[in-house]
Each structure stands twice: as C-alpha cells, then as structure tokens.
Structure 1
Amino acid sequence: MKNKKNGAFIFLPFLFLAAFLLLYWFGNRVGGGEAGGYSTYNRHYAMITGSGDEDFWAEVYESALEEGKKRGVYVERFGENLAVDYDRTELLDMAIRASVDGIIVTGDDEEETVELIDEAVDAGIPVVTILSDCIESRRQCFVGSNNYNIGQEYGRQILKMLPEGAGQVLVLLDENRTDSSQNLILLAIRETLEEALGSLDAVTVDTYAIDGSRDFSAEESIRDIFLGEELPDVLVCLNAVHTRCAYSAAVDYNKVGTVQMIGYYDSDTILDAVSKNIIQATVALDTAQMGELSVKALDEYVETGYTNGYMAVDIHVITPDEAEELMEQL
C-alpha cells in the first residue's frame, strides 16, 4: 500500500503539468465570445500598434477582430491590459516567443524593428505592417495608404484656404516617428503648392516637431503655438492626437477663426469640430478597411504562401458640410 501511495504522489506533478499544458494550448485556441461565452478558432494573430492615436487603433482593431471571427481567427490586441507597459518592439519579441500564427504591426525604419520582423518570418510567422511600413524587412504585406497621395490631399486643401496664393503654413510632426511617412507627406504638400502656384516664394511651409513620448507633451507644445506672438495661416495636423489638441487649444484660447486647420482622422470629436468649422477639413483613412485587409493578407499568406506586397487603404477628405451630415447619422 505504501509503494502505491508513493507512486501516486510521484505521478501527481506530471498530471498537473499535463493539465497545465492542455489548458495553455486550449487557451491559445479559444477567444471570448459574446455575452461572456467562448468560441474556438483555428489561428491566433497578434496586432501590435504601440501607443498614441488610441481611438484610431481601436477602430482598426475592432474591424480586424470582426474579420477574424468570420475566418475562424482570433485577433488579439497584443499587450493590452497588461500590468507592465511594454513598448512595441518588446511586444513584437513577445509575440514571436508566443509562436502566434501571424503578426500585424506598425512598421518603421529602425534596425531593431527590421531584425524582429525578419526573426518572425524566419520562425514561420508571417508579418503584415499597417499604416507605416518597414521596407527593409521581409514582411509579407504592407496595408496602408500612399503617403505622397495623402500629402497631395493636404496640399489641395491648403490651396483652398489661401485663395491669394500667399501665407504661412505650419505642419506638426511627431519627432518620435522614425519612418519616412511624414517626410513624404511634407514633400507632397510642398510640390503640390509649387505646381499650383508656380513657386513657393509667397508661401512658407514650416514644421514643428512635437515629442509624443511624454504625457501631455503634445498638448503643451500645441498650446505654446496658440499662445505665441504669431499664428500661422494654416495649421496642418498629421495624426489624431495633434488634431484634438489643436482643436482644444483653438477653443480654450479663443483663437477659433484666427487660424485655419486641417486635421487627421474622423472621430466623433473631430467630426464635431469640422461640422462647426473650427477645423476646416480633416483627412481620414478607412480604418475598417485597414483592419479587414490586414487579416485577409495574413490568411491569404498562411493558406497559399503568397499575398500582395501592398494593399491600399482608401483616404478621403471631410469638409464641414459632409461632417455635419455624418454627425446627423450618429
């Protein structure tokens, strides 16, 4: 009897280990369903977006999640609700270690990002970059918009706001972005203005770099612009955070109408500002299309070993009249 008891005690740790491994495997193949239920899925994709523009990324993720459900895929907003705030490269490394079936991530030109994406590909994990690309990497697909085209749209709106063909334009840049997207947008703005006006002698296009790594730094930097001695004729925002901060500053410091603004994104707050002509126009990317295409690209590669290297996301400019119509539909 004693030997049987000892044998049972020796066997118990192995039983617990087997149970743990089974639960871990099951947990990585089960996603939360509606009304607190659960649903099984065939693949597990990790979406990693880093910090900033939370409303924008929430919409992209929601679309990716819904597209995944249609395909039996669980798309996880990787790193969300963790006790520790990991940066994008740390989350990318963690996703590789977790052996997910695919990764959706915002790209940049940093060497570390290139190496991590290539490491994922070497491990058999396909990678799709979204919004901003990582050109030097071996990622399978980039889902986003042509940044030069976005810059052209900004340029056309600036021309409408400067009917005399003269004035000062200030473009807000995120100094923490290391990819070339902002430079391409800026180049397109300048070339669009120069082509229409013949030269840039009467129009200045300046930039103002904002450090987005600290809490409230964007708000403080944009506040300083509005409290300065001279405001630009046109203020251009290239992300949703800067747009919201500029809108708030214009209202708080009674500068509505003093400076014309072109925003980015179409959240309810930004649409409301455009409908009231506080922001004169906003450039919006189709967030639903972005999330949907990113999942489709991964699925296509997993199933066929091939996918398009680039999938375009639609962009459109929203003016006050259209914003008012959209607000009525909410």
Structure 2
Amino acid sequence: MRVRRSTVLFIVLLIATFWLILYSSFLLLRVASGAAAIGKIDPGEPMRWHLVMIGERIDSPFWQEVFAGALEICSERDAVVELVGPALDADRKDTDEYLQYAVAARPNGILAFVDDREESLQALEIAALRGIPVISLENDAFPANRQSFVGVSRYALGNLLGGLVYTCGGATGHALVLLDEESVRSSESIMLSAIQDAVSSYPEIRVTALDRNSMKDMSRDEFLRHRILNDPDLDVILCLTAEDTVLATQAVIELNQSSRISIIAFRESREILDYVRKGIIQAVVAVDARQMGRKAADAMLEYLETGHSNDFVITDLHVITADSLERSRQ
C-alpha cells in the first residue's frame, strides 16, 4: 500500500513538474517576444537613388570636399553616393578604368571627372546605351556624351589668372604656365586663350606654356630650374596643380629667387597655404569644392526625378592671398 502511494505521489509530482516547465517556457516566450518587439531595428526603405562619384584623386583634400558636398545633398534627397577613383598609392592611376567599372555596376547616375582618353569616350557611350546619366566634373571632355557639366568656367579661370599675372608681376616680363603633365585636356587651350586675353592690354607681358614636349629629355624639375636660372625676364610662374605649385616653390626657394619670381597657384593645400602666409606664393585661385559637390548631386537628382537638368553649372572661384588669410583669422 505504501509503495502504491509513493507511485501515485511520484506521478503527481512528475505531472506538476511538466506543467511548471511548460508554463515557464510560455512566460519566457512572451517576455522574449515582447523584448524583440520593443528592440526591433527598422531598417527602413532602401535608398531610392544610387550615385557613384569618380574623383581625379580621391585622397586629395579637394575631392574629399567635393564628396562631402555631394553627401550633404544626398542625405536630404533619399539617395546614397559613393566615392571611387585613383589615389596616390593606387595601382590604377587612370579615371577611365573607374568609369568603366562604374558603368558596369549600373548605378542610377555617375558624377565623374572624365579625362580625354578614348577609353573614357567608350565608357560614356556604353553608359548612354544603358540609360545611365553622367555628369562630368571639372573637365568637360566629350560634352555630347554627358548629361551636364559642373565645374569652373575655364575662360573665367584663365581671365582671373591672367589678371593675377599683371597684379603680381607687373606690366612687363615673362609668365610661365605649368600645364598639367598627367593628361592633355581640351579645356586648357580655352584657359590659355583667356590668360592671353587678360594681358593683351600689356604687350610687354609674354606668356608661354610648359608642357611635356617642351622638356625634351629633362625631368620637369630640371627643366623648371633651368628656365629659372637662364630666363632673366621670368618673373611669374603659374601652376595648375598642387604638385607643380610645391615643385616650383621649392625650386624658387632653393635657387634663392623668391624675391624675383612670383608664384600663382590654382588649387590650395595646407602646405601651399603655409607658403602663402610666408609670402613665397603670392596668390592662389581656389574652387569652392563643397559647392561643386552639392551642385553636381543636386543636378543629377533633379534629372533623375524630373528628366531635366541644366547643361552647364558653374561653381565659384575665389582668390586667396596672405592678406585674406590674415583677415580670416581675425
């Protein structure tokens, strides 16, 4: 009788334990479900537009500013933009390769620095066939194959640089323009013509351009130093890249010619602005890079949303001197 009672008690305890476990599991499930509902992260809807920006050199302060401007607009307009392109230490140096990859990725739109290579033209033609609009930045190569251009007016830039040649060098002498040796750009001829127009009232100012063909077998640095030492009329060096600006500045300093030769630069960097403060570089023409990025992204999104955009969008230029830098600190 005692064994039977023990068996019944065991069965009752087993059933009670089962129901207790079942009820505890139910409570845990409710708590977990409630926690999941409270802590659930809503990823939201995917961005409507995907843009790719191709910079001439994405690790430069200028292109980082252009990208920052594009990000500002995209963050407000249901769009995402990514920056790709060659960097100083990249294996691929040419933007046309990145343009080809961007077209293959089929984004909604491409904002790109486009050089004058045949490969770039082919990539633009493929983009047009696939219905991918392209807005060119800075260099207006192949205008028939892009939707819009966003950048500076090369004529306005040349006119401004020509005015600085007179301001910094006076009404006589020789100004040497260092063209970008990395690529030949159709827009440079417009800029050079504008420089000549700006100094046309001063017939004793002579403007010549240094390009790759002028150097023969000499390096760029050697040729520049040769011109500095052997051209007594040279009183202005006009640089179109940050790299050439630093090269010319160092040559002028090392040859002890900073009191004779004025340097005018297009594009600023921290090092260049330090030289401006010291009075070694007389003036820098700077592009509003962030404005360029904003206007480019805005033009692309306008086209994607409405089917229309301006063909030519101009960004601002401003001149930086030692005086303007001093005023900005006050």
AA aligned to 2:256 is N
The 1:93–1:230 alpha-carbon spacing in structure 2 relative to 1, beyond 3 Å, is same
The 1:79–1:52 alpha-carbon spacing in structure 2 relative to 1, beyond 3 Å, is closer
The root-mean-square deviation of aligned C-alpha atoms, in Å, is 2.8
CA distance in 2, matches of 1:55, 1:210: 26
Which of 46, 53, 73 is 2:52 aligned to? 46
Verify: 1:95 aligned to 2:102, yes or no.
Answer: yes
Which residue in 2 is equivalent to 1:234? 236
Which residue in 2 is equivalent to 1:208? 210
Which residue in 1 is equivalent to 2:153? 146
AA aligned to 1:185 is M
AA aligned to 2:280 is I
SS where residue 132 of structure 1 aligns?
A: strand
Question: Over alpha carbons, which structure has the higher Rg?
Answer: 2
Q: TM-score scaled to structure 1, two decimals?
A: 0.76
Which of 107, 112, 115 is 1:105 aligned to? 112
Shift of 1:136: 4.1
CA distance in 2, matches of 1:156, 1:72: 43
- Once the two structures are superposed, the pairs formed by residues 15-94 of structure 1 within 5 Å of their partners are 41-51=47-57, 54-79=60-85, 84-85=91-92, 87-94=94-101
CA distance in 2, matches of 1:218, 1:53: 23
Shift of 1:44: 1.8
Task: State whether residues 56 and 86 of structure 2, in contact with CA within 8 Å, keep that contact through their aligned partners in structure 1.
Answer: no
In structure 1, runs of 5+ residues without a counterpart are 1-36, 212-216
CA distance in 1, matches of 2:271, 2:255: 18
CA distance in 2, matches of 1:74, 1:219: 42
Verify: 1:176 aligned to 2:178, yes or no.
Answer: no
AA aligned to 1:129 is S
Which residue in 2 is equivalent to 1:244? 246
SS where residue 190 of structure 1 aligns?
A: helix
SS where residue 249 of structure 2 aligns?
A: helix
- Once the two structures are superposed, the pairs formed by residues 214-225 of structure 1 within 5 Å of their partners are 222=224, 225=227
SS where residue 278 of structure 1 aligns?
A: coil
CA distance in 2, matches of 1:283, 1:311: 19
SS where residue 171 of structure 1 aligns?
A: strand
Which residue in 1 is equivalent to 2:277? 275
Shift of 1:113: 1.8
The 1:282–1:84 alpha-carbon spacing in structure 2 relative to 1, beyond 3 Å, is closer
Shift of 1:295: 0.5
Shift of 1:122: 1.8
Instruction: Give per-residue Cα distances to partners, 1:164-198, cap 9 Å, x unaligned.
Output: x210110001133232221111111111111x22x
SS where residue 236 of structure 1 aligns?
A: strand
Task: State whether residues 129 and 142 of structure 1, in contact with CA within 8 Å, keep that contact through their aligned partners in structure 2.
Answer: yes
Which residue in 2 is equivalent to 1:14? none
The 1:60–1:264 alpha-carbon spacing in structure 2 relative to 1, beyond 3 Å, is same
AA aligned to 1:258 is R
Instruction: Give per-residue Cα distances to partners, 1:221-250, cap 9 Å, x unaligned.
Output: 545555x33362100011222122222333
Q: TM-score scaled to structure 2, two decimals?
A: 0.76
Task: State whether residues 114 and 136 of structure 1, in contact with CA within 8 Å, keep that contact through their aligned partners in structure 2.
Answer: no
The 1:86–1:259 alpha-carbon spacing in structure 2 relative to 1, beyond 3 Å, is closer
Which residue in 1 is equivalent to 2:30? none
